Amino acid sequence: MDLSAMEQYWIWLSGVEGIGIRRFYRLLSEYGDARAVWDSIGDPGMAFLGARALENLRAARTEERFFRVFSELERLNMRAIPRISEAYPASLHEIFDPPATLYVRGDADLSAERMFAIVGTRRATRDGKRAAREFARTLAGEGVSVVSGLARGVDTAAHEGALEGGAPTIAVLGSGADVIYPPENELLAERILDAGGAVVSEYVPGAEPSKGNFPQRNRIISGLCAGVLLVEGAENSGAMITVNLATEQGRDVFAVPGSIYSPLSAAPNRLIQLGAPPALSGWDILEHYRWASRPAKPAPGAPLPELDEEESTLVTALREQELSFDELCSLGKFPAAKLNSLLTMLVLRGIIVKAPGGLYRAYQ
């Protein structure tokens, strides 16, 4: 990690506990740069920091503390990108309160031309998870880096879909980049890194997740991207914070329409009512940005897979919704052994697919 002296002082100052983004930028405004802050500690003009932050700053002004920052980054195989670095994403310079420093695990390009966010509720329905996964897979299949927050529900499904699609996916955390939250997504985070993606945070390594961090990190999710897709969310969903930030940042907002009777479709349906473009597949987004053209539909009369009556019964049910093995059994049409055989053959023929979570669905 090659950093100039000025970049090192910037990273050191931005990581001092209690300084925060507003105090950090005020210090730079008052003293000119981070090295000058180091040289001026004890100056009466720093009283605006408050007693605790000022004491933390004094305690951090030692060579041992200074160099510990960078040895810890090296130990964690993590890079720090200060805002004054050429590697800092240009798109984040434009937003309100741009993060002072980004801590990054992984190799993904944070300035990639094609970046798009998929967000939604943690309490996603089965259809919501399916939509997030399929949108992400389609976008990633055309080289789009999908950005989300690694949370339960829609975020998790979006990252999984992006991995299936084969493009890097980027997770922005409300904790240190080495503190995966929720813990059950540690394996998913490793898969993201192994596939050339990245785990990103503005919080120092070791920072635990806190309630206030998540709304704050949402400005990074939207800020990195050309646009944001809201898959599911109630009227008061936290995902609406990302949507509102995206609007303030001048990013595009899309929404997945849902049932008027589903509380978790209230937010996207409301956005559509207010003028947000409805998105029915990833191709709607790809075509909007002219990133790719939708594949042509099969010509009329093109041969369809030949299905016998039993196979047709299963495929018809799986075109309507994703179903588990037990749910298919409950249809009462096949013994378990027969059902297993039918499903296996349909998967091998490429007519249905077994999705994450043990659910089956038919290709449309």
Decide: helix, strand or coil at residue 362. strand
Residues sharing a CB contact under 8 Å with residue 276, sequence separation 6 or more, in sequence order: 230, 253, 254, 255, 268
Q: Are 191 and 163 in contact (CB under 8 A)?
A: yes
Supply the angle between the helices 51-60 and 63-75 in degrees, to the nearest 10.
80
Decide: helix, strand or coil at residue 107. coil
Structure tokens at 301: 């009369």
Q: Dihedrals φ, ψ of 193, to 5°?
A: -65, -40
Q: Where are the domains of the chain?
A: 5-75, 115-288, 309-362
What is the dotted CATH code of the domain comprising 309-362?
1.10.10
Report the alpha-carbon distance of residue 134 to residue 206 in Å, rounded: 33
Structure tokens at 351: 């007519």
Given a cut of 80, is residue 301 above it in pLDDT? no
pLDDT tens per residue, range 202-261: 999 999 999 999 999 999 999 999 999 999 999 888 899 999 999 999 999 999 999 999
What is the dotted CATH code of the domain comprising 5-75?
1.10.150
pLDDT tens per residue, range 36-64: 999 999 899 999 999 999 999 999 999 99
What is the dotted CATH code of the domain comprising 115-288?
3.40.50.450
For 202, other C-beta atoms within 10 Å of its C-beta total 25
Chain centroid to Cα 247, Å, comes to: 17
pLDDT tens per residue, range 75-101: 999 999 999 999 999 999 999 999 999
